[in-house]
Structure 1
């Protein structure tokens, strides 16, 4: 009887050990699988295209560097200037392939130091990692250039540089928050609305558009670069940069919604870019994020 009890006890111990081993294996496998999936997947943020400073969104690790070259050693105001951007990998070798992001392989944002001037242009890919575009700068002073691109196999990346346009620069315009978030541009009256404006929190920016004269809702917005619109956001010191795409690409108005997340408190300038009747228009706002 005692021998039978000992045998049964041994069997129970073996069964308990087996169950314990199986449970630990499943828990460990499940945790690692979830963590690896999150680290290796693409973290879209802000509708798939946002970067603050010079970094890539979480995703595949494809590190790149940008080398900038201007056609003129001393850039002059209102003079044609060719901007050459060379994208290389960590080893200094050209990056050959780039994904199409909203109909372009590279978006180049140009802003003056006081953010009064804004331009969104698209360099042509010449191959072997080199992009080229010709543009003009309206006045003397400092400008920030931001190259926004997606290397194939990587994620949304931006690289920037400052340049100086020669001559006597005009007085810098103060960057002050708008007292009223309503602007009229090219026959469209746009109102900017947002929810729980707090740094570090996801929120929707909504551009609500009506006809400036009739006040009827605008419902004929046309796709701009494959979407209802685009939004570029920069902090007052030009240190933070966000390129935000809409939540609903197919919307034609009157509302265009963009989800974003301001990285820190402070004053930001927001440029909304839209198209109507074949013409692109820009609606700028300055807001103070608590």
Structure 2
């Protein structure tokens, strides 16, 4: 195995984002600073291990995370956060690929998951979890995957935030100007693409109507947002968040209907 250490930074449904395609854990997630401070001031650290020093595209790679405190002692208890002890977000460097998976807790601070990367290139891994008695924490790391690379996609703001995904027309709007440092409500409005009727039978996904992940174009700013009304069934799903700085961001919304999870993505400009 190859071991990689990372400290907290600002910062399974697989899909390649070609057009249609999840930010702040309803008040936490992302932008924690260079160290996530635990209850007594000890920093939370992650030791990342890969089953291969050179992971290959389209082949399963096992990721192992050892979560420990600043003295190198395992952190052994974690809060359940939306039905899981850890959420792991995987994105390609150009943000064209997005995956949200859930490592299994093996005990003594160790989490493990197996996944396959779709193409060669750089990927960012974001582990999102809450050590018991501490605050929400993110641990991030970049990895290089061998194999044929996919064509690079430029992250450009979109003029129209209306997409069709999984037979639904989904429009993203906000309650004000997209500006940094301002609390904003993101509204996903959904209608059936065939009938134009409102979608009112969304099902809980990980205990809520949906989840939103947001990343800046350079993948340095990370937000994971939970809905304002977790029990909503549509046609609107509302999420409140604050963008930490101006720039271009990609937004992924994850929802479920008829037992199937679907994802829709947008690229926005924040002033």
Q: Please indicate the TM-score interval, normalised by the length of the shorter structure.
A: 0.7 to 0.9
Tell me which protein shows more helix as a share of its residues. Answer: 1
For the pair shown, which has the larger CA radius of gyration, 1 or 2? 1
User: Mind listing any 5+ residue stretches in structure 1 that lack a counterpart?
Assistant: 1-44
CA distance in 1, matches of 2:123, 2:216: 14
Instruction: Write the mapping of 1:1-290 to structure 2, written as runs, cut at 5 A.
Output: 47-52=26-31, 60=39, 61=41, 63-196=43-176, 197-290=178-271
> Is the Cα–Cα contact under 8 Å of residues 54 and 159 in structure 1 kept in the other structure?
no
CA distance in 2, matches of 1:57, 1:194: 30
Greater than 6 Å deviation, 4+ residue runs: 56-59
* C-alpha deviation, 1:259, in angstroms: 0.2
RMSD over aligned Cα atoms:
1.6
> Is the Cα–Cα contact under 8 Å of residues 234 and 269 in structure 1 kept in the other structure?
yes
CA distance in 1, matches of 2:109, 2:63: 14
* C-alpha deviation, 1:199, in angstroms: 0.5
1:16-56 CA-partner distances (Å, limit 9, x unpaired) = xxxxxxxxxxxxxxxxxxxxxxxxxxxxx762332226567
* C-alpha deviation, 1:167, in angstroms: 2.5
Q: TM-score, normalised by structure 1?
A: 0.82
CA distance in 2, matches of 1:276, 1:55: 38
CA distance in 2, matches of 1:171, 1:54: 32
Secondary structure of 2:238's counterpart equals: strand
CA distance in 2, matches of 1:223, 1:77: 32
User: Mind listing any 5+ residue stretches in structure 2 that lack a counterpart?
Assistant: 1-23
More deviation in 266-275 or 180-189?
180-189
The structure, 1 or 2, with the larger RCO (C-alpha pairs under 8 Å, 6+ apart) is: 2
1:60-103 CA-partner distances (Å, limit 9, x unpaired) = 45521001001111111100110001100011000000000000
CA distance in 1, matches of 2:53, 2:139: 21
Q: TM-score, normalised by structure 2?
A: 0.87
> Is the Cα–Cα contact under 8 Å of residues 227 and 246 in structure 1 kept in the other structure?
yes
CA distance in 2, matches of 1:244, 1:56: 21
CA distance in 1, matches of 2:189, 2:84: 27
